[in-house]
Amino acid sequence: MPVQPSNRNKRWALGLLIVAGLLVLFFGLRYLLRDQVTVRSAKVEFQPLISTLNTNGKVEPVDNYEAHAAAPGVVEKVYVDEGDKVSAGKLLLTLSAEDARARLAEAYAKLMSAQAALTAVKAGGTQEEQLSLSSQISTAQLQRDQAERDLAAVRQLQQKGAASSAEVESAEERFQTAQAQLQSLQKRRTGRYNAEETTRAEAAVADSRAAYAAAQDNLNSVELRAPFAGTVYSIPVSASDFVPAGEDLFDIADLNHIRVRAYFDEPEIGQLAVGQPVKIVWEAKPGSAWHGHIVATPTTIVPYGTRNVGEALISVDDPDGQLLPNINVTITVTTLSKPNVLSIPREALHTDGTQDFVYVIDGGKLRRTYIKVGALNLIRVEVLGGLMQGQTVALNIVGTAQLSNGLHVDNVE
């Protein structure tokens, strides 16, 4: 006869069923009533990674010529207008030549005087002085010869007893005096001026010759011509204007050979390197852009208005003659350019000490995953390891909650 379960066992089984039901009900209600967590997310994917710096700069010509007045004068005529393209040697401007001619004549007169003085020093005197000296030497020679003949005659008379010793001594004294006078005059012909006087005369000639050359250049400079082919971009004077010495008359440059001096704030300098590509924009030419590359990075910091900047030189690779000297332009330097790298939004990256990690969304939960990062810009980070293309990473939670390892995620945006 089958054994019937006791009442006690029935009660025990019933109690277990009730407990199990309550647990199911508890966890079911907890699941149904818990807060839903919505996470903003992004895919791990391949994208270009580009980083740029923006600043201002000023255009300057590589080949530039500034014409200045060599001496005070009046502008006679200007043959070109600003913006004209000219060939090498073209006459651009003339100045009045009266003052220049007067200066040249004065310099020439001084040069001739200095050369005559040097000739006189080397010859022992001027032509007039030489003629006078020659006449004096001829007279002195005649006097010496006569004194010599007189001395010989007196000596013969002394031998015959017709002349005394005193007469002989007197004749000898007259001969010695005439001889000394002749020698003195002859020495004046070749040694009138010493070496120091000759050096001074030669220096005077050299100075006068240099002054004459400068005056000749000054006269030549009244006609100002283009030193090379280019564009006349500045003419600050007009016909009939009086200009002092050193006044700027015109500026010419080869606008197909220009560069930009760009000003970078001190913290940005470390990102610059020779060869980095540059985009150049001028507000006066909307829709136009020029390109170049850095040819010299900053070597020092200088004040620039309220900023401390380093100056970089940028060569313009596609000049078309429209960028004018001294205009202000906007510079964009590409400091980083990787065309196709595995990357994530920078917002997804977190740091734990020296380690970088992200929260990968895996099976409805957040899983902390450590990664290796490479280059980065303001919005994206290159992933070198730890993630694969197509994985989903959390950016942030919609609401006040914080991302944490193991957190359940209901909705992913």
Q: Does 56 share its domain with 72?
A: no
Q: What is the CATH number of the domain that holds 301?
A: 2.40.30.170
Q: Does 122 share its domain with 212?
A: yes
Report the number of distinct structural domains present in the chain. Answer: 4
Residue 78 within a domain? yes
Q: Does 333 share its domain with 360?
A: no
Output the pTM of the full model: 0.58
What pLDDT shows up at residue 56? 96
Per-residue pLDDT for 169 more than 70?
A: yes
Q: Does 82 share its domain with 228?
A: yes
Q: Does 228 share its domain with 284?
A: no
Q: What is the CATH number of the domain that holds 346?
A: 2.40.420.20
Q: Give the domain range for residue 134.
A: 106-216
Residue 32 within a domain? no
Question: Who has greater pLDDT, 131 or 299?
Answer: 299
Region 130-148: mean pLDDT is 78
Read off the pLDDT band of 170 (50, 70, 90).
Answer: confident
Q: H/E/C letters for each residue in the chain? A: CCCCCCHHHHHHHHHHHHHHHHHHHHHHHHHHHCCCCEEEEEECEEEEEEEEEEEEEEEEECCEEEEECCCCEEEEEECCCCCCEECCCCEEEEECCHHHHHHHHHHHHHHHHHHHHHHHHHHCCCHHHHHHHHHHHHHHHHHHHHHHHHHHHHHHHHHCCCCCHHHHHHHHHHHHHHHHHHHHHHHHHHHCCCHHHHHHHHHHHHHHHHHHHHHHHHHHCCEEECCCCEEEEECCCCCCCEECCCCEEEEEECCCCEEEEEEEEHHHHHHCCCCCEEEEECCCCCCCCEEEEEEECCCCCEEECCEEEEEEEEEECCCCCCCCCCCEEEEEEEEEEEEEEEEEEHHHCEEECCEEEEEEEECCEEEEEEEEEEEECCCEEEEEECCCCCCEEEEEECCCCCCCCCCECCEEC
Q: Does 118 share its domain with 151?
A: yes
What pLDDT shows up at residue 235? 94
Q: What is the CATH number of the domain that holds 227?
A: 2.40.50.100
Question: Who has greater pLDDT, 137 or 155?
Answer: 155
Residue 10 within a domain? no
What pLDDT shows up at residue 351? 94
Q: Does 157 share its domain with 207?
A: yes
Q: Does 163 share its domain with 300?
A: no
What does the pLDDT look like over 99-127, one tens digit per residue?
777 787 888 888 888 887 777 767 665 55
Read off the pLDDT band of 148 (50, 70, 90).
Answer: confident
Residue 4 within a domain? no
Q: Does 401 share its domain with 345?
A: yes
Read off the pLDDT band of 370 (50, 70, 90).
Answer: very high
Q: Does 80 share its domain with 160?
A: no
Residue 190 within a domain? yes
What region, left, alpha or beta, does residue 172 occupy, with left being phi > 0 and alpha being psi -120 to 50 degrees? alpha
Residue 57 within a domain? yes
Question: Who has greater pLDDT, 167 or 49?
Answer: 49
Per-residue pLDDT for 149 more than 50?
A: yes
Q: Does 118 share its domain with 203?
A: yes
Question: Who has greater pLDDT, 217 or 346?
Answer: 346
Residue 14 within a domain? no
Q: Does 280 share its domain with 322?
A: yes
What pLDDT shows up at residue 139? 86
